[in-house]
Amino acid sequence: MTHRICIATFLLTVFVARTPAQAATLNGRLTTSLYTWERQEADTSSSSHLRAYQSVTLDAGELGDRRLSFHTYALVTGDVSGPGNKGQRFRLYNAYFQWKGAGRTPAEASAGRQRVYEGVGYGTMDGLRVSVTPRGLFTLTGYGGILAPLVTRARLEDWSDGHIWGGRLTTDRLWNTSVGLSYVHRNRRPLPYLAPGRYSGQVFDITSGQQELAGLDVHRTLKGGVDLYVRFDYDLLGERVRQAEGIVRVPASEHLTVAIEGFHRAPVVNANSIFSVFDIEDSQEYAVRGNYTVNPLVSVYGNFAEVVYDGARAQRVGFGFGVGQHSVSYTRRIGEGGDNDALSITLAHPVSRFVTLRADGGVASYRLDDRAGERLMAMSGALGITCRPSRRVTLDAEAQALRDRIYANDFRFFFRGTVWFFKKGK
């Protein structure tokens, strides 16, 4: 299925690019990247690597009808040199046709490989998505299709191999409040056991049921700019709360904004995973954030959070300031999972309208747990430049360095060139 979509995408691109369509538009972006690094590990061994990336983004509109368009994004990566050279890999992220209707009942439909973001429903599928908005009262969306393969060599050509379907209902007509209800059913066939267990002597047949979720999200802005957001996700297969969150943002003054957040999270373990047989404990997080804007160029921010696990706690605190495109920040984490102190600096200076220089640096002192004893150090830095010789061309280059207990020296260089193109029929 993947190679068929690739061929269809290529032929459509050539057709639109070479045909003087009456009103067709073609908007795209080609990006070529090279990433090379040389690392020397603490045991004195060293290795060099070079990897190349080529991506294409294409949006073709007004394909015979103003309401019909085509969208695609694909990426090819390849290890040019270095140990573990695995050749080229191709990944098609999306390739779909989209139709948008107007009128008193606007409708929208898209068919092909596409990414779904509908409340609790998310994922990349080869399928169909339809959305209608009757008289602007509410929006009803439904979707279904075969799940895209997790690896490029896999081909999911059968509904039973892996599929997703669901829907979402949203409206903003309830007391000036935006409300959304969503549902998703998701299956992916697991790899079968080929031999009996060592102790059980049985060949287990794992069910293909993976996820079945229902969700509710509510958003409202009160007088004075107070912003409220609540979300609740429920796992129907596991019969437990998957996630719950509440966020309140308050403009305390003209310059100060304060946010109070609360989260309840259950570990994401699919029903057909071997880990689903173990006892899984949820966690809670409570946080407060503040941002003070001194003027349009200068701002100061800070945050504090506490995470509560089963019989353990962890805290996180951070603060920093920004001046234009420059920023300095400090973060500290203590409690469960060890402790960490980190300082980072980001600088960006526009030399001209076409050239911008960047510099980033960071240093961290950490300990994985209380019994680790001596604290470890990690340092990183980067120098970069962005050049825009024209409106359609952007060139980026960056040199990076890392040093920690594993890599005595890790040097990397990244280059990226991007070209935009646009064509509109007469």
Residue 14, SS3 per DSSP: helix
What's the pLDDT score for residue 5?
Answer: 46
Report the mean per-residue pLDDT for the chain. 86
Overall average pLDDT of the 110-138 stretch: 93
What's the pLDDT score for residue 207?
Answer: 64
Overall average pLDDT of the 325-351 stretch: 93
- Alpha-carbon span 328 to 384, nearest angstrom: 18
Q: Is the pLDDT of residue 10 over 60?
A: no
* CA 152 to each of CA 74, 184, 238: distance values in angstroms, whole numbers, following the listed order: 12, 25, 31
Token pair, residue 186, equals 């998701």
Residue 101, SS3 per DSSP: coil
Overall average pLDDT of the 403-414 stretch: 84
285 in Cβ contact with 308 (< 8 Å): yes
User: Which amino acid is located at 347 in the chain?
Assistant: L
Q: Is the pLDDT of residue 1 over 80?
A: no
Among 82-86, 93-97, 248-252, 312-316, name the one with the lowest average pLDDT.
82-86
User: Which amino acid is located at 382 in the chain?
Assistant: A
What's the pLDDT score for residue 212?
Answer: 92
* CA 149 to each of CA 17, 176, 208: distance values in angstroms, whole numbers, following the listed order: 30, 41, 15
Note the pLDDT tens digit of each residue in 21-37: 455 888 999 999 999 98
Q: Is the pLDDT of residue 334 over 80?
A: yes
Task: Identify the band that residue 380 occupies on the pLDDT scale cut at 50, 70 and 90.
Answer: very high
Note the pLDDT tens digit of each residue in 185-236: 998 877 766 777 676 677 666 666 678 999 999 999 998 889 999 999 999 9
User: Which amino acid is located at 194 in the chain?
Assistant: L
Determine if the pTM surpasses 0.85.
no
Residues in contact with 3: Cβ distance below 8 Å, sequence separation at least 6, in sequence order: none
Q: Which of 175, 103, 97, 182 is nearest to 141 (CA)?
A: 182
